[in-house]
Amino acid sequence: MPTPVYLFTGFLDSGKTTLIKETLDDAEFMQGTDRTLILCFEQGETEYDEPWCKDHKAFVEYFDSIDDLTEERIRELDTIYHPSQVFIEYNGSEPISPTLLGGLPDYWPLVEILSTVDANTFESFINNMRGIMFEQLRWSDVVIVNRCTEDTNGRMLRGNIKAINKRAQIFYEGDHGAQVVLKSGTLPFDINAEVLDIKDDDYGLWYMDCMENPDKYAGKKIILRGIYSENIPGYSKSFVLGRRAMVCCAADTSLCGITVTGVDITQMKLGDWVEVEGELKPVDMANGGKTLVLYASRVQFYHELKDPYVYFS
């Protein structure tokens, strides 16, 4: 049975070891696992001491270079430890090696890349060492921004991370993994703007927030871009504008759509990309909840996006 490999990257003392330890303390994540092998390419202030390793059934091997992780060495480690999972704590000052991205044996598949970011140093690093930060974050599935306070600039963090890797999920944490609410919020747009111009990459975040908080958007003027996704039976001036989100793969998607009304749909067809400007109004649903309808004042055709899918962070 294949042994899943999780790759942890980030600058020295950005919280990689702490994240690994917290993960091994997560009973839900650890369910069904027995032995964890940790391959460490960097040593910071936090260590894997012997009592902790014994208590967590963890085994640590230290490496000076990724070149030392040969296929022969991997086979040897697999034979010695028979791990249920492998965690790799990588050297954050180096680009992720092709060995890890595509050169691991089939019985050690890389399943997730997690990157840690220190909120206190991120702006300085991204301004002065953007190339190194780019290499750290470009492949990440998950980015954990730790050491946040309520005054942390969430928009600056998200904007820079998404510019490097728009598919990455971002989580913001305070000390010791505690949740923190940022004053600036993490939405990439100003909810109080006269007109909310939702950028293509931000559709998913907007959609998730407005579906959860429809009253917050009541009466808001907005510009959206998406696909003429569905007709509404019995209505000649309404359609569903939407983008699709991947559930697990390109063959399994779900529609993130909103009803647009007040439109001459005879000039459009299913699959057209359009830009719509109008006003959002909450509408009561039969189940007692609310949804939003976009009353259009302007509709025009829009160009098809290279990546049509939406992301939720």
Q: How do residues 156-198 score in pLDDT, each as one tens digit?
A: 888 788 878 878 888 899 877 778 878 766 788 888 899 999 9
pLDDT for 279:
97
Fold assignment, 195-301:
OB fold (Dihydrolipoamide Acetyltransferase, E2P) (2.40.50)
User: DSSP for 116-156?
Assistant: EEETTTHHHHHHH-HHHHHHHHTT-SEEEEES--TTS-HHH
Buried b (16+ CB within 10 A) or exposed e, 222-237: bebbbbbbeeeeeeee
Domain positions in the chain: 5-177, 195-301
Question: Band of the pLDDT at 280, cuts 50, 70, 90?
Answer: very high
Q: What is the CATH number of domain 5-177?
A: 3.40.50.300
Residues 6+ apart with CB under 8 A from 128: none
Q: What is the mean pLDDT of residues 135-163?
A: 87
Confidence of residue 248 (pLDDT cuts 50, 70, 90): low
Question: Which residues are within 8 A (CB) of 58 and not within 5 positions of it... i.e. 6 or more apart?
Answer: 24, 35, 36, 37, 38, 48, 52
Q: pLDDT tens digits for 81-130?
A: 999 999 999 988 888 888 899 889 999 999 999 999 999 999 888 888 88
